[in-house]
Every structure is written in structure tokens, then in C-alpha cells.
Amino acid sequence: MKLVVVESPAKAKTIEKYLGPGYRVLASYGHVRDLPPKDGSVDPDAGFAMEWETYADKAKQLKAIADEAKNADSLILATDPDREGEAISWHVQEVLRKRKALPAHVERVTFNAITRSAVTEAMGRPRQLDEDLIDAYRARRALDYLVGFTLSPVLWRKLPGAKSAGRVQSVALRLIVDREREIELFRAQEYWSVAAVMEADGTEFLARLVRYNGEKIDRLTIGEEGTALAAKRAVEEGRFTVTSVETKPLTRNPPPPFTTSTLQQEAARKLGFAASITMRLAQNLYEDGAITYMRTDGVQMAPEAISAARKAVADRYDAGYVPDRPRVYETKAKNAQEAHEAIRPTEFSRERAGSGDHARLYELIWKRALASQMASARLERTTAELSDGTGRHGLRATGQVVLFPGFLALYEEGRDDDQDEDSRRLPRLRDGDVPAKKRVDAEQHFTQPPPRYSEASLVKKMEELGIGRPSTYASIIQTLRDRDYVRVEKNRFIPEESGRLLTAFLERFFERYVSYDFTAYLEEELDDISGGRLGWQAVLAEFWRDFKPKTAEVMEQKPSEITAALDDFLAPWLFPDKGDGSDPRLCPACGDGRLGLRGGRFGAFVACSNYPACKDTRRFGAEGGEEDSGPEVLGQHPETGEDVVRKSGRFGPYIETGSGKEAKRSSIPKDAGELDFELALRLLALPRSIGTHPESGKEIIASIGRYGPYLAHDGKYAKLASTAEVFEVGMNAAVAKLADAAKGGGRGRGSREPLKMLGAHPRTEAEIKLMEGRFGPYVTDGTTNATLPKTLAPDQLTLEEAAQLIDERAAKGPAKKGRGRKPPARKKNTKGKK
């Protein structure tokens, strides 16, 4: 019997069906061991020796693999065909070797698609484990560990509120922060455009002013309204004649099939998918045999796939849509590895696969791959020049027409920026024509700052710079969100204060290690290890030689010295020049103190130098670094007559009425909307009494606490969804919510609201939720509940880990009943017996 090990049970089931009798296929459920999160897991003094620890929740699966391996003639490691797949195979082999269960004959096979032909062909071409790929994995893992476990303690001690830093994660964060700085430094410039709506042969078209008073007009030439209106009058009064019509042929070639990066970008643009969702759906499609392997930098397709695509094009359209020669693509991405094919369908004759989001992603992959082997689109661009009788004023009209759609009949690539005007179609114009003038418009515009990064544009930028690997982009982006270093608004990334402060700290004290060039250089070195051109220990030694002393140097500095350095580094952003010659650091409250950055228990904040005599403070980066306007009186309290004041403190904005020990305060929730006097009074009046519970007769109250809005009754709590609910929830809804919370058996806030929505189960597609239970956090798909092992932190839980826990729990069958405490044994009645 031959034992085959793959990653997922879905993949195992399919492959076992293809291989038939004589083979036993088991899943490892991903990685089986890792570096334990503690000091000493990597020892630089011992040649970077690593101490690996088996995941506690993989014990059962590893036992099953080891038991089968003891009876197997050979072991076939068939994990994914990339560095991570090679690493999983190596880990499985090492675990079996330690348990003395490793068969004498071990082989490694890889296949790019889970189809019968691909799997059976791969079984006929076994090889040994690729030591260079394993070395590259070890180097990458050790680097990430050394950066995290050396730098994070520095952050915790010197930068209160910082959670962690990562080798690539911190550089990705810097991209987002740098873009925000560009936006803040940007100064909009006014400009005007003048255009005439004209008509010829019953068709309207737009002609823009390109020459005025004999001078060429560029986009920013007309900078104020007076000039724009004068130019508008000149166009209105002029009689414009067509002086030239130029027609140029254009050819547009199809884009190559998807790589991991371009798939993430296009799915974000066209389908609105986050990178993590795209990769989960693609993983499912791959395991179902619908597409080829989805982690790849390659843009080429196998010859047989190209032939199948060309045939599918001819069948769908006609021979004119098939180019004379097959198209061959080469990657343009920095540091790309072209060991694998591009992402494509396994069968081009299959137009649909899966349902819902799976079907939408498959259609995108199918269209892109098919279009890559279609004929070029042929277009015609027309430019018409018009001039008035004086020759001093000129207009230009441009248009474009598609002569032959080619690949555009099936697919057009999305764009991050706005489309231009050339796609308009012009009527037929000839020299000497005098088109009718319908109207002339002068429009005011302002130059726009560079846009914030979307997931698509961030992935594209990281790939251009050679930062990280495409297969890691989804997890990098998710980590930034999980750590609250960034937030997403309208599908764009905005850095949080903590993210800006962390980036400033790293730029000031570890500039080299968050530079784009150095990060890309490290990626190149890791790729050289994969190719056998560099030794992994030499790369680590070179990095550690400079990094370790640098962290020790920063650790020796006092927190006050760190804060002073950051205060100076961040001054242009925290205290921007007002433009009137005044001191931007002058305290608005006392008038003679100077504002500066201070470090506190809960992070950095800005305070007056006369503190604590002057209590003017604001959060680090409040209002994007703009000066706080100071206390604002909203009105007088109707009961006390005292001012109700909106203030800004170290922990954010709040409202206050009264003074001293009698003062009442309330923080302003983020979801409260625009604060007015009425809302301020309602917040100050909390907690709100809803009434007495119909069963217990005890009071139910609604309020806002440390963890958000909640209901309270007789020592029991239930979470509310929003601040608005605190003021709106009625008795019936409150009783129902408290009952739901009580059913969960939870102590304290026993809400049945999920802690986190993890996504759809990769195999059953049921929605998986992370819940808080009586005995700790657990995951559920609505049918099966699985408790989280103590070794697995809830905030670090991934969808794949949750799905695995549910699968393992379901495999055990329903929980056995009657396992509670036994009733006490009935005592024998000895009275009256001799």
C-alpha cells in the first residue's frame, strides 16, 4: 500500500478516487508544526537552529498519518507545488522520522491541477524533496520570527499602545501612511476648462479649447474665472471651421492570464472581493479541479492548454478571432518566479463552475484565460482640429471607434483610474466643415490628491516594488486590519493613529528595515536561496549582524528620549505651518505654553508644556493632525443651567457638564453620528431605564460601557448592536435580547452576537462564526460547534483553522450524553437487619 499525503480533505477525497486501490490518501490539514511563539525558537548562536513544535490540534491527524505510514510500502508527498507545499511535505517527513514511522521509500510529486490526467501523470514523475525550496522556507520563517520577537518587545516598552511589527507588514503599512502624507501635503490648484458642444450630421460631439489668443492651452493654463469667461466668449463669438481630420489605426492586445497578484487586483475591481476572499474561493475551485494552482507568478500556459483555448475561441466565435500564432507571455513583475503556469481553467470547454461567488470568480478566470489567446482588437482614433476665422482660437475633438472587437468581445481589463474621453465616437468630419455650435461651457476644476490605496492598487504597488510575495498579500492586508493599524472606508485604506505612530517610530529608529529597496533586496536574496544560488544561513547571518545591535541600541534609550525624537520627526504633520508666521506649537488654551508629543500608558498624545496646570490635551493625530479647536459650548443643561461642553481628551472627544466632583461626563461613541445638543443631553442622562422585567419585576437598563452598548438586568448582560439602540430599544426587544443571551449560558455579557464572522466553510459553504461560550470561545457552522484549543488565540484564528476544527469535531460524531456526574449511590437500609 502507498500512502499519499496532501493538505486538505477535499483534495484527498478527489485524488484517492483518481488513484484507485493500492493507495491511501490522507490530509495534513495544512501546516502541522511551526516555530513556537517564545524566545529561543531560533538560535542565531547555533547556526540559526530552529526548534519546531507540533500544533496541538494536529495531533489526531498526525497520529492517523503515522499509523498508516507504519504499514505503508512507500510515502508519496503530494502537497501544493510551491514553497509552502514543499515545507509541509518536509515537516510531515520529519515528524514521521522522529516517530520512527517513515517508510523506506519517500517520493515527492507535484501537479498544477487536480484532474485525473494531471494527477496520474505526476505520479509517473516522482522526485525528491527540493532542499533549496525548504531552505528558502526556513530562511523566510526565521527572518519573520527574528524581526517579530526582537522588535516587538522594543515596541511594547518604548511605544505604548503598539501591538507588533512585521518584516513585510510594516513596509505595507508604510505605503499606506506615505500615501496619506502625500494627500495631507497636497494643495489643490484651481483650473478651468472651456468646451463647446457641437453637432454635425445630427450627432453631437465635444470639442475642447486648445488654443486661446494664439497660445497653447494645457490643463492648468486657465487658472481663474475671469480668463475662463473671456475664453468662453471668444468661442461663443467665433465661427469654427474644421481645418484637419487625422485618423490613426490602433491595436489593443489582450492581457495575459491571471497570476495570483493580478487575480486579486481584478477580483477587487470587478467583483468587490477582498484578497483573502479571492484566495479562499480560488482554493476551493482548485481543489474541485476547476482551475490550475492559484499561487503563481507565471503568465504562461502549457502548450496543450493554449491549443485548447484556441479551439474554444474558434468554436465560440470564428477563425477570425484566433490569432495566426499562439500568444506567449513573459512576466513583468519584480522578483517573479515562473515555475508554475498562470491561473486558468482546467477545461476551456467548461464555461461555468460552482455557484454564487465561486461561479463569479471562475467566470472571471475563464474569460481572462480565453481572451489571452484571442485576436487583437482593431480600433481607429480620430482627431479633428477646428479654428476660428482669426486663427487665434482653436478647438480639438477626439473620438474612437472599434473596427474589430477581437478579445474585447469577451473581456476588458478593469482600471483603477477614470476612463478617458477618447472612447466617444465622432461624426464623419471633413476639412472645411462648419459644425453647428449648440452651447459653450466653462467649468471650474481643482487638481486632486493621489487616491488612497484600495486592495487592488495596494497589491499592485507591492508587486511593482517587489515587497513580499503574491501568496502572502492577503494575510498581510488582513493583519494590518486585525491590528487596527488601518481602517477601510469606501474600499480605501486609511491609516489609524496607532499605524502612523508605529510607522514614524520605525522610520526614525529602523529606517533601513522599513525601506522599500531593502525589503525588495531581501526578497531577491530569498529567491536566490530558492534557486540554490545562496546559502540560507549566510543570508540570516548578514541580516542579524546589523539588526541585533540596532534593536539593543534603541532598547537602551529612555522612553522620554524616544518621545522627544518622535516629536521632532512628526512636527511637520502634528504642528503644520499656519502660513501667518505664528508659532504652530502655541497652546490655544493657556496662550503661553507649547504643544508637544507625550507618551502615556495608553499611547501617545499631544499636551501643553504647562501640563498639569494647563490641561489642554488631544489624541495623537486628532482630526488628521489639525489643531483642536478647543472646548465647544453646546448649550445649557435644562435642569442645572450649567454649560454642556464638548471637549477633546487623551482618549478622544467627550462631553461634560458641571465641575469638580459633581461633573458628569460621557464619551462620544464613534457610531453616534453628528453630535448636537439633544444627543449630548441623552448621552449625559445614561444609563436609561427601560422598565421592570415582566417576570422578575427588576429594572432593565440600557447604557454604554467599556465594550460598547449593552442591556443589564439582575446581574445579566446582553450586547446591543449600536448606540442608537440604547435610546430606541423597547421592553419587548430588551426582554428577547436578554433571553437570547441567557440561552447561551454565558456569564456576564452572554450575547449571542458572534465575536467574528470568519466566512464560508471552504467545503460546505456554511457561514462560520466565532462565538463566546460558557467554557470559552468556540466556532460553529450552525450544525457543529468546536471549542478552540487553548493554544489557539481567538484573534489569530483563520478561516482554514476554524473549518478544520469543525471538520474534526463533526468526524467524532455527536457528543455522548449522560456523561455528567453520577447520582450518589443509594444507601442500603441496614436498620432492623441483624
Catalytic site positions: 293
Tell me if 400 sits within 8 A of 244, measured CB to CB.
Answer: no
Distance in angstroms (rounded) separating the CA atoms of residues 276 and 471: 10
CB burial of 673-709 (b: ≥16 within 10 Å; e: otherwise) equals eebeeebbbebbebeeebeebeeeeeebbbebeeebb
Distance in angstroms (rounded) separating the CA atoms of residues 555 and 626: 31
* C-alpha cell of residue 25: 490518501
Q: Which residues are CB-contacts of 336 (< 8 A; sequence separation ≥ 6)?
A: 259, 297, 298
Give the position of cell 529567491. Answer: 527
Q: Which residues are CB-contacts of 384 (< 8 A; sequence separation ≥ 6)?
A: 207, 242, 244, 245, 246, 396, 397, 398, 426, 429
Distance in angstroms (rounded) separating the CA atoms of residues 627 and 3: 67
193 three-class SS: strand
Distance in angstroms (rounded) separating the CA atoms of residues 463 and 332: 10
Residue whose C-alpha is closest to residue 634's, from 681, 589, 682: 681
Tell me if 26 sits within 8 A of 12, measured CB to CB.
Answer: yes
650 three-class SS: coil
CB burial of 623-644 (b: ≥16 within 10 Å; e: otherwise) equals eebebbeeeeebeebeeeeebb
CA distances from 817 to 743, 781, 813, 821 (A): 19, 21, 12, 11
Residue whose C-alpha is closest to residue 760's, from 336, 65, 281, 187: 281
CA distances from 185 to 300, 450, 575, 623 (A): 42, 11, 13, 15
Q: How far is CA 178 from the centre of its chain?
A: 17
Distance in angstroms (rounded) separating the CA atoms of residues 740 and 535: 59
Residue whose C-alpha is closest to residue 763's, from 727, 729, 807, 721: 807
Helix, strand, coil proportions of the chain in percent (round to 5)? Answer: 40, 25, 40
